[in-house]
Chains A and B, each alone.
Chain A
Amino acid sequence: MARIGVFICHCGTNIAGTVNIPEVVEAAKKMPQVVYAEDNRFTCSEPGQASIREAIKEYQLNRVVIGACSPRMHESTFRRTLAEAGLNPYLLEMGNIREHCSWAHTDKGAATEKAIDLLKMAVARVAWHEPLFPRQTGLTKRALVIGGGIAGIQASLDIADAGYEVVLVEREPSIGGRMAQLDKTFPTLDCSACILTPRMTQVGQHPNIKLLSYSELDEVSGYVGNFKVKIRRKARYIDETKCTGCGECATVCPVEVESEFNEGLGKRKAAYIPFPQAVPNKYVIDKRGYPPCRVACPAGVNAQGYVALISQGKFKEALEVVRRTMPFPAVCGRVCNHPCELDCERGTVDEPIAIRALKRFIADYELKAGREKPTPPSRTKEEKVAIIGSGPAGLACAYDLVREGYPVTVFEALPQPGGLLRYGIPEYRLPQEVLDDEIKYIQEMGVEIRTNSPVKDLGQIFNQGYGAIFLGTGAPTSQKMGIPGEDAPGVRHALDFLRRVNAGEKVTVGDRVAVIGGGNAAIDASRVALRLGAKEVFIVYRRSRAEMPAQKTEIEEAEREGVKINLLAAPTKVLTRDGKLTGIECIRMELGEPDASGRRRPIPVKGSEFTMDVDNVIIAVGQALDKEALPKDLAYTAWGTLQVEQTTLQTNIDGVFAGGDAVSGPAGVIEAIAAGKEAAISIDRYLRGLDLAEGRPQALKKVEKVSKEGVETKPRKSMPLLDVGKRGGSLAEVELGFDEKTAIEEANRCLSCAVCSDCRECEKVCEAEAIYHERGEELIEEEVGAIIVASGVKPLDHTLFPEYGGGKYADVIGALQLERMMSAAGPTGGEVLRPSNGAHPKTVVFISCVGSRDERTGKDYCSRVCCMYMAKHAILLKEHDPETQSYIFYTDLRGPGGKMFEQFMWRAERKAGAIYLRGRISDVYQKDGRLMVSGEDQERNEPVEIAADLVVLATGLMPSDGAAELARTLNISYDVKNFMLEAHPKLRPVETNTDGIFLAGAAVAPFDIPECVAQGGGAAAKVLSLFGHDTITTEPTTAMVDALRCIGCLLCTQVCPFSAIDPELTRDGRTIAAINETLCKGCGLCVAACRPGAVNLRGFSDQQLLAEVKSLWQ
């Protein structure tokens, strides 16, 4: 039987003024199970509490109802009172007759009636209360601080100094945050770096601080005192434990990009620290994937790598980068169809980089300077590999295998190695001696080449002890057209024609030559024919120019040399008279629907036949495999090419692989090289008994976003060519190649898409051997008891305000950019210069509230620091150059609230002579090389215009990127502007609504430095007061499951926001829900979701709630 005491509070006149207290007391006395009721002027006062304690003793009360204020106000007070009187503190219920009655109503009678009802409910409810017992859990006395700005630094140092460990996570390579970017601080004009860096060093050296820079929070689980956090350590590519901070990697790094730390005003290397005083003094490599050029290259040649090195004049090193992938820099530098250039990002700005010409340049440079004989790689493998065919596919395959340590022999049927490179490409495009040198290099690397060695029987090769074979025999025979007269004398096939010319045979041509076809072979044949003395050469092609497969530049050159192109025409008959060729009959074509190749199909136009008088016909309509010359038992596709497994290039015969034109049909040199390289991987795996296909094909991850901001257009360097007049009768090379200066200038156009070019120069110079280009990111786990969020702010991008010339005019800058220019360690060495011309600005206009206090940007708040930093800038500008005149356009001046702020602003105006004008600028435009700033001068009540040299936009502050995601990860609240929300804006400014997670600094709202430091200290104090206990008391009001009623539907597990419910097996084998009381926060969602009513919340049971409701009509 419950013995309930009811205590009614007057709360001075707060309650008694509107509620008739004596009437309520009398009513309470009549309520069921109530044995005592009284009223008090101030129940929460000591005499009021004493009266409760006495009544409990005197009337042996075992339940207490207090009619007073909201339980949020005094529930904990009265629970203590009960405990002091020896009752379980949870046997209390409060009726809120202040906020719900006296404060809400004026009608005394009605308010009294309502108060009685509320107490009746409380009485009914309290009868069902049961004693509850809070639980104690342990805690990890270790803190996580997110953000290494001044707030995070302060918090970390305070906690660490108190003797507890701190894990400090910073996203950037260095701590320091925004304060590190500042030159001076207001209002004292202290040097920002001078007062900050000692603290940064302290953090770096503190034995209790574990500094994780270049890292981000990934996941958080657990609860106050017992958080488990996962931290993503971004790939640094430099081992922090080994790096000594010597900076050699940055010195040799060829890639320069805009420095984020200097707000885009200076450059930094791909291997860098953001600023000299960085903590930790450990370098990072900024690698953003693979550049589009490298991804586009079938063989994956690292174009950005060698282009970057060329830009630094490191030609030898650049060549090494090419040879790291393949052995044909000189060949590909001349004849490659350069898919890299098609995908080059620079092409979206103006024109692609002349990658091919640059590659040729470094190869020629070596050829001219003479190269050292390479040291052949050591032979580490036993199994011999045979390569059949010495074209680009075969030699690329051999090159890779010999570098893997295999003994490799290349069998070539013809007298000289090189395949199609030797016999199919005319000398004016690829001089023989250039090819000779590349092949020699391959031989010097240890590849044995046997010429005049046709292979007919693969079995024989295996019998000679070769473990694997690569077939790179190409497509060396010309296809026929199938028209009458094709076998007449004077009709030649392009490949045969070119081979004989290249082999040095004496070849003659007639005066008028027709070349049939539109590919590279047709162009080559026509241009060679001209050089051999033909007076007129016609190309006859059945489709239009757009469909011609030959390289565009080749077609253009052919035409410049005098080759005539007859498009949309196809030969139908070769005409002869007296056994002598006299001409060809052709028919006009028109284009129909696209065919399988995607090109529009040519259709003959009836009755459009015409004849051409020619002495020679050269057929260049396609190439095919020479099946006669190939070994037996090989399988072929329907197209007559060798059949291979697509990924591994394995043929139908075990241990035999194939690639190049023999598999793909006629294709480019680089495609053949790529196939040779793939086959080399397969052969290596085959010989080592590994799975051939696993993890292949390996796609390179292309860099996602390439910054093109501020890139000025600059035309691509064109290739110098031999005068057309000098070309006839000679096979001299037409393209002359870049000189050194041109090559460097062209290479400097590269956008460095992937930032790090993967050139590996840093590896060579790092004495600490700290560089690991292959090492990726890492996830680590930490256990902490408390978390401080100090994720800070960033200024709005000033280029988002074109109305003020931001992003439009170079001399319109953001305030942080001015700050960097003023800094002695900044990009201009402390001089304020106009970005457009490097001159000292004489008139500087500041525009305040840019983007802040603006409904249009959604940032309707004041950014708070701008008024003061504009005053600071005006003072400093005057110090830098006494002739500078500053104008400050303000909307309202919001600075002078802080300590010494008023005097500081006075100093800006009176001493530094800054002119303050009230009015928001309407626009900025350029006139006669100056920036015209126009708005209203409200003091004079008229429009005003100022001609400025430099315009500084005081852009508003906004939360750092990813602030909302961070808040979601931590499960803390944030506002619509992504600022973190305090638990109470006045009384709990550094706490969140989640226990154990605290806030510091400008992540909450724009704050200045002293405020951030104070908050950092405040948050640290909160953490320390938590760590002052050895256990944490948790509320006993958690959910519980009635095991007999639970049907195991587990709907509750889905609705629980804290993952506090898990399935559990009962002894009789049923699945039921089980509550993890440490994780349960008592929100009650599971109670509402439970269909059989098996879940109940302690302190809020169904019986308690129903009794409360029922009391209203009982």
Chain B
Amino acid sequence: MAVLTPYREAVEAVEEAGGEALKLCYQCGLCTGICPWNTVRSFLVRRMLHESQLGLVDFEAEDTWLCATCRACVDRCPREVPIIDVMRALRRTIVGLGVGYVPDSLRITMKNISALGNPLGEAREARAAWAEGLDVKPFASGTEFLYFPCCVQAYDPRGQKIARAMVGILKKAGMDFGILGAEQSCCGESVRKAGNESLCESLAQGNIHLFAENGVTKIITTSPHCYHTFKNEYPELGGNFEVIHYTQYLAGLIREGRLKFTKEINKRVTYHDPCYLGRHNGIYDEPRLILESIPGLELVEMPNSGQNSLCCGGGGGRIWMETKKGERFSDLRVDQAIEVGASVLATACPYCIANFDDSVLTSDKGEIIEVKDVAELVEQAI
């Protein structure tokens, strides 16, 4: 039998990496029960915290990379342990010490971001290619808003549709906005969750510098991940901008009567709360207000909605990693949407869209349900 000797160095490394909150954990196991992983496979969050307390985490295991940072556990933890921070600290320890297992796909993604400023390995100069032919003005001093589409929306053909739809809407709404092209980089959200703190910091510093140089004060984002990072993490590095998610902006226009829909969408739509919009930032009502305002549209709720939303599986860098078939939350979520009789599964996050599209495609349900960004529906109805 092995003698249990807490591995102090590992504990200290984790604590130093921002995981000191794990001391608060009293091992009740509520997190395990709440974690969506346990609907598809076993993932003992509690045990991982206990192992961290003792410094006995198996850094070679895949488990360290499972957490999708959906925040369901943090919201319910009776000791208010920021479990996500602990998970991030574990990954940071692995990356920082250069020991242990890192999924290959994540390694490549990080390399791409580091070299090209985007996770997809596309050319830096092509970052504004999505806007070609749309007559979007480059951001200049005095422009009110910077529109910041995320990397997926800048490069991925499916994502680009959303960015283009967004431009259409913002123009109709009469918003004074511009975009920055090649110089801007990935916001760094998933980089940080993937444990690469220094890369995240350099991306953030670069962006902050770029924004400041161009006189940016207000940013509108289409991704909840960029929104979260700009709003909650950039201020730590001195980047203080007024950040809004597009659903907030559009909901505001609707409330003030400044955005009117002219076309009907006679469909039954359900809305999936992205973790980073909902649980992380408390934005639940705005997207629903937008959808409910579209004439003809019938909004239905899935069993897990609002605060109890079921993660798509794409947060915490998971979007860059392979998830085995049968273990994808997005499959369950698409089934939930179909069960409530929706013909459209709407959401407001590029990662959720990518995962749901994939689930619909692989399960061959394209005939029954389509996946749409709220922005796409709005564009269709105005």
Closest to A945 in B: B33
| Also in contact, A854 and B32, with CB within 8 A (given A891-B26, A941-B44, A943-B38) | no
| Also in contact, A943 and B32, with CB within 8 A (given A853-B26, A891-B26, A938-B27) | yes
Question: B47 within 8 Å of A by Cβ?
Answer: yes
- Does B34 lie within 8 Å of A855, measured CB to CB? no
Whole-angstrom CA separation of A119 from B190 in the bound complex: 65
- B363: chain A residues within 8 A (beta carbon): none
- Does A922 lie within 8 Å of B33, measured CB to CB? yes
Question: B76 within 8 Å of A by Cβ?
Answer: yes
**In the A-B complex, the 7 residue pairs with the closest CB atoms:** A922-B33, A920-B28, A936-B32, A936-B29, A919-B29, A854-B78, A920-B30
A-B contact pairs, 29 of them (CB 8 A): A803-B76, A853-B26, A855-B77, A855-B78, A856-B76, A856-B80, A891-B26, A919-B29, A919-B32, A919-B46, A920-B28, A920-B30, A920-B33, A920-B78, A922-B31, A922-B33, A922-B34, A923-B33, A923-B34, A935-B29, A936-B29, A936-B38, A936-B44, A936-B46, A938-B47, A941-B42, A941-B47, A943-B32, A943-B42
- Does A936 lie within 8 Å of B33, measured CB to CB? yes
Closest to A917 in B: B29
- A853: chain B residues within 8 A (beta carbon): 26, 78
Tell me which residues from 909 to 935 in chain A have a Cβ below 8 Å from any Cβ of chain B: 918-923, 934-935
Question: A437 within 8 Å of B by Cβ?
Answer: no
Closest to B27 in A: A938
| Of B26, B34, B79, most A-chain CB atoms within 10 Å | B34
Question: A26 within 8 Å of B by Cβ?
Answer: no
Give the residue of A891, A934, A941 whose beta carbon is less than 8 angstroms from that of B33.
A934
- Does A942 lie within 8 Å of B78, measured CB to CB? no
- B31: chain A residues within 8 A (beta carbon): 922
- A942: chain B residues within 8 A (beta carbon): 42, 44
Tell me which residues from 261 to 280 in chain B have a Cβ below 8 Å from any Cβ of chain A: none
- A943: chain B residues within 8 A (beta carbon): 32-33, 38, 42
Question: A556 within 8 Å of B by Cβ?
Answer: no
Closest to B34 in A: A922
Whole-angstrom CA separation of A1045 from B76 in the bound complex: 64
- A936: chain B residues within 8 A (beta carbon): 29-30, 32-33, 38, 44, 46
| Also in contact, A935 and B33, with CB within 8 A (given A919-B28, A941-B44, A942-B42) | yes
Tell me which residues from 1 to 56 in chain B have a Cβ below 8 Å from any Cβ of chain A: 26-34, 38, 42, 44, 46-47
Give the residue of B28, B32, B76, B80 whose beta carbon is less than 8 angstroms from that of A891.
B28
Tell me which residues from 239 to 267 in chain B have a Cβ below 8 Å from any Cβ of chain A: none
A863 to chain B, nearest CB (A): 13
Tell me which residues from 110 to 137 in chain A have a Cβ below 8 Å from any Cβ of chain B: none
- B47: chain A residues within 8 A (beta carbon): 938, 941
Whole-angstrom CA separation of A922 from B37 in the bound complex: 13
- Does B33 lie within 8 Å of A919, measured CB to CB? yes
Whole-angstrom CA separation of A207 from B31 in the bound complex: 58
Whole-angstrom CA separation of A803 from B44 in the bound complex: 20
The interface size bin for chain B is 10 to 19
- B44: chain A residues within 8 A (beta carbon): 936, 941-942
- B34: chain A residues within 8 A (beta carbon): 922-923
B181 to chain A, nearest CB (A): 45
Question: A892 within 8 Å of B by Cβ?
Answer: yes
B85 to chain A, nearest CB (A): 16
- Does A849 lie within 8 Å of B42, measured CB to CB? no
Whole-angstrom CA separation of A923 from B28 in the bound complex: 13
Whole-angstrom CA separation of A574 from B317 in the bound complex: 84
Whole-angstrom CA separation of A636 from B145 in the bound complex: 69
| Of A854, A855, A920, A921, most B-chain CB atoms within 10 Å | A920
Q: A853-B78, A920-B33, A922-B30 are in contact. List 7 more A-B contacts (CB 8 A).
A: A856-B78, A921-B33, A922-B34, A935-B33, A936-B38, A941-B47, A943-B42
- Does B46 lie within 8 Å of A849, measured CB to CB? no
- Does A892 lie within 8 Å of B26, measured CB to CB? yes
A868 to chain B, nearest CB (A): 19
Interface residues of chain B, those whose CB is within 8 Å of chain A, are: 26-34, 38, 42, 44, 46-47, 76-80
A801 to chain B, nearest CB (A): 11
- B33: chain A residues within 8 A (beta carbon): 919-923, 934-936, 943
Q: Indicate with 1 or 0, residue by residue over A872-896, a CB within 8 angstroms of chain B CB atoms.
A: 0000000000000000000110000
Whole-angstrom CA separation of A934 from B38 in the bound complex: 11
Number of interface residues of A (CB under 8 A): 21
Give the residue of A803, A855, A938 whose beta carbon is less than 8 angstroms from that of B79.
A855
Give the residue of A855, A892, A935, A941 whose beta carbon is less than 8 angstroms from that of B30.
A935
Whole-angstrom CA separation of A853 from B28 in the bound complex: 10
A358 to chain B, nearest CB (A): 40
| Also in contact, A921 and B30, with CB within 8 A (given A936-B44, A942-B42) | yes
Whole-angstrom CA separation of A853 from B25 in the bound complex: 12
A848 to chain B, nearest CB (A): 10
- A941: chain B residues within 8 A (beta carbon): 42, 44, 47
Give the residue of B27, B38, B78 whose beta carbon is less than 8 angstroms from that of A849.
B78
Whole-angstrom CA separation of A942 from B45 in the bound complex: 10
- Does B29 lie within 8 Å of A918, measured CB to CB? yes
| Of B34, B44, B78, most A-chain CB atoms within 10 Å | B78
- A892: chain B residues within 8 A (beta carbon): 26
Whole-angstrom CA separation of A892 from B47 in the bound complex: 16
- Does A855 lie within 8 Å of B80, measured CB to CB? yes
Closest to A891 in B: B28
- A938: chain B residues within 8 A (beta carbon): 27, 29, 46-47
Closest to A856 in B: B78
Closest to B32 in A: A936
| Of B29, B31, B34, B47, most A-chain CB atoms within 10 Å | B29
B184 to chain A, nearest CB (A): 39
Closest to B38 in A: A943
Whole-angstrom CA separation of A919 from B28 in the bound complex: 5
- A919: chain B residues within 8 A (beta carbon): 28-30, 32-33, 46
Whole-angstrom CA separation of A856 from B80 in the bound complex: 7
Closest to A942 in B: B42
Tell me which residues from 221 to 258 in chain A have a Cβ below 8 Å from any Cβ of chain B: none
Whole-angstrom CA separation of A934 from B34 in the bound complex: 9
| Of A803, A934, A938, most B-chain CB atoms within 10 Å | A938
B114 to chain A, nearest CB (A): 38
Whole-angstrom CA separation of A900 from B356 in the bound complex: 58
B158 to chain A, nearest CB (A): 34
Whole-angstrom CA separation of A935 from B30 in the bound complex: 6
Whole-angstrom CA separation of A938 from B29 in the bound complex: 7
Closest to A944 in B: B33
A931 to chain B, nearest CB (A): 15
- B27: chain A residues within 8 A (beta carbon): 938
A477 to chain B, nearest CB (A): 51
Closest to B24 in A: A855
Whole-angstrom CA separation of A974 from B141 in the bound complex: 58
Closest to A851 in B: B78
Whole-angstrom CA separation of A723 from B38 in the bound complex: 63
A892 to chain B, nearest CB (A): 7
- A920: chain B residues within 8 A (beta carbon): 28-30, 33, 78
- A918: chain B residues within 8 A (beta carbon): 29
Whole-angstrom CA separation of A934 from B26 in the bound complex: 19
Whole-angstrom CA separation of A803 from B33 in the bound complex: 12
Whole-angstrom CA separation of A17 from B245 in the bound complex: 67
Closest to A848 in B: B28
| Also in contact, A922 and B78, with CB within 8 A (given A892-B26, A936-B29, A943-B42) | no
Closest to B81 in A: A855
Whole-angstrom CA separation of A853 from B76 in the bound complex: 13
- B77: chain A residues within 8 A (beta carbon): 855-856
- Does B28 lie within 8 Å of A849, measured CB to CB? yes
| Of B26, B30, B42, most A-chain CB atoms within 10 Å | B30
Whole-angstrom CA separation of A849 from B26 in the bound complex: 12
Tell me which residues from 184 to 242 in chain A have a Cβ below 8 Å from any Cβ of chain B: none
Whole-angstrom CA separation of A425 from B352 in the bound complex: 69
Whole-angstrom CA separation of A975 from B46 in the bound complex: 32
| Of B31, B32, B33, B44, most A-chain CB atoms within 10 Å | B33
